[in-house]
A and B are shown apart, each in its own frame.
Chain A
Amino acid sequence: MSAPIAVRDLRVRRGGTLVLDDFSIDIGGGRVTGLLGPNGAGKTTLIRCIVGVQIVEAGTVTVLGEPAGSPRLRARVGYVTQAPSVYLDLSARENLEYFARVLDAPDRRISEVIETVDLVRDERRLVGRLSGGQRARVSLATALLGEPDVLVLDEPTVGLDPVLRRELWDLFRELAAAGRTVLVSSHVMDEAVRCDDLVLLRDGAIVAAGTPDELRAQSGSDDLEQAFLRLGERRA
């Protein structure tokens, strides 16, 4: 059986520049995969291809056996963009009520996800009046509503306090343990240790990929940050 997310020979241009070229990767199910790399490495572009909102020049992206972005996948793939994409002129709960109707998620899910992202106290406030971290949580809660089989998150923990960040990572681990596919991009190395698989991107190419242990072994360093630096240098 093929991997839940399979990318083959992908070529993508954004704003005239070639971001990904001849790019292939498999992302496994029941695991949390971390997509790491500096700004401009191509993380967001790859994520946009997987959720099917990016115009692709060549290659294929297959998610759960179907071409990325196909109508049947829309209820099965959850997507959190880097900037919180929710309505600022609605309350957190009203946002979730709307998206729950669109996804045909049961009403109880609304309260569940509000609890998950720890917004119970602020659920009636307008999102526009919430802090950046709280807005990010509303956006994340939206992606969790439909209990998607594949969850793709673009830097979901930026601006969140350490306690909540740890709770969310626990949640990602739980979702993966339940058999779902979780892909998280990050540029924070201390989150890398919590992933099952790591993919290090630079300039649109995979510099290194494997479990944290494998990457430590490959680089001969116990510290993941060191490991990445070494692997990056070797490649350069």
Chain B
Amino acid sequence: MSLRITGATALRVLRQLRHDPRTLALIVFVPCMLITLLKYVFLDSPVFDRIGGPLVGLFPLTSMFVVTSITMLRERTTGTLERLMSMPLSKLDLLLGYACAFALVAAAQAGLVSALAFGVLGLDVQGAVWAVICLAVANALLGMSLGLFVSAFARTEFQAVQFLPAIILPQILLCGLLAPRDEMAQLLYWISWAMPVTYAYGALDLVTKGIYDAELAAYVLVVCAFIAGLLVLGAGTLRRRTA
């Protein structure tokens, strides 16, 4: 592993995004629009304050999932991945380079969305805003590692985009954001324990309620474990040699 190559990779990914200002604008604008919509759909209702905070922390997960799976798929289909694999670059350099770049983008995204939600729209949470932003960055990395892994199973960008409703949406439905998990059917409840977004939401839910306890630490640890595990699985899909 080399700091030089990891840094260069992060810079390269950021430069690619910079040349695509529309994507960057969408990454920031779409969550801002959704959180504003949420505010006015649930005007005079406690729902906005209950799910608004966790949502701010979950947006980066979906954006980075899509951006990573498409970027990685392009690396595979245009041959740049094969070129890199024939160069003195370790898989860790590539994965960490991606992680640094997307963590930075996610921090900016979560910062701006938070400024709007907490500053302008009056979203009220018990916990600290900086803690929500930290969790948002962790969730961006979770989305990135998920996207990296599933990109190996897509042949085209059409397929890669479909992985969002296929893989992220069920997790959002089951994570407890829309309905409490302990009121779900037993089977769904047990399935939700196996899904990383459940823990990502669990941590956000506690932080926005101002609860900083062992349960929160456990959730954060599980999210980190999922990130590490998915990155290892993702590294397994980066092949030096192919048939």
Residue ranges of A at the interface with B (Cβ–Cβ < 8 Å): 13-15, 51-55, 69, 71, 74-75, 77, 79, 81, 83-91, 94, 97-99, 101-104, 126, 142
Supposing A90-B16, A94-B15, A103-B88 touch, asked if A85 and B83 sit within 8 A by C-beta, the answer is yes
Q: Is the CB of A85 within 8 A of B80?
A: yes
Supposing A53-B86, A74-B86, A90-B19 touch, asked if A85 and B241 sit within 8 A by C-beta, the answer is no
Q: A30 vs B126: C-alpha distance in the bound complex, in angstroms?
A: 72
Interface 9-mer from B4-12, B158-166, B168-176, B230-238: B4-12
- The yes or no answer to B240 lying at the interface (CB within 8 A) is yes
Q: A103 vs B9: C-alpha distance in the bound complex, in angstroms?
A: 12
Supposing A75-B88, A98-B8 touch, asked if A14 and B243 sit within 8 A by C-beta, the answer is yes
Q: A177 vs B83: C-alpha distance in the bound complex, in angstroms?
A: 26
Nearest CB in chain A to that of B20: its residue: A89
Q: Is the CB of A89 within 8 A of B19?
A: yes
Quote the shortest CB–CB distance from A42 to chain B (angstroms): 15
Nearest CB in chain B to that of A49: its residue: B241
14 A-B pairs whose Cβ atoms sit less than 8 Å apart in the complex: A15-B243, A53-B85, A54-B243, A55-B241, A55-B243, A83-B79, A86-B80, A87-B16, A87-B80, A90-B19, A94-B12, A101-B4, A101-B8, A102-B84
Supposing A53-B240, A55-B243 touch, asked if A90 and B12 sit within 8 A by C-beta, the answer is yes
Q: Which of A13, A88, A102 contacts B89 (CB 8 A)?
A: A102
The count of residues in chain B whose C-beta lies closer than 8 Å to any C-beta of chain A is: 26
**Which B residues lie within 8 Å of A90 (CB)?**
12, 15-16, 19
Q: A51 vs B7: C-alpha distance in the bound complex, in angstroms?
A: 26
Q: Mark B66-87, 1 if CB is under 8 A from A, else 0.
A: 0000000000001110111111
- The yes or no answer to B45 lying at the interface (CB within 8 A) is no
Q: A91 vs B243: C-alpha distance in the bound complex, in angstroms?
A: 31
Q: A12 vs B57: C-alpha distance in the bound complex, in angstroms?
A: 49
Known interface pairs A74-B86, A79-B86, A83-B79; 16 further A-B residue pairs with C-beta atoms within 8 A, sorted by A's residue number:
A53-B242, A54-B241, A54-B243, A74-B88, A75-B88, A77-B86, A81-B82, A85-B78, A85-B79, A86-B80, A90-B12, A99-B87, A101-B4, A101-B7, A102-B5, A103-B88
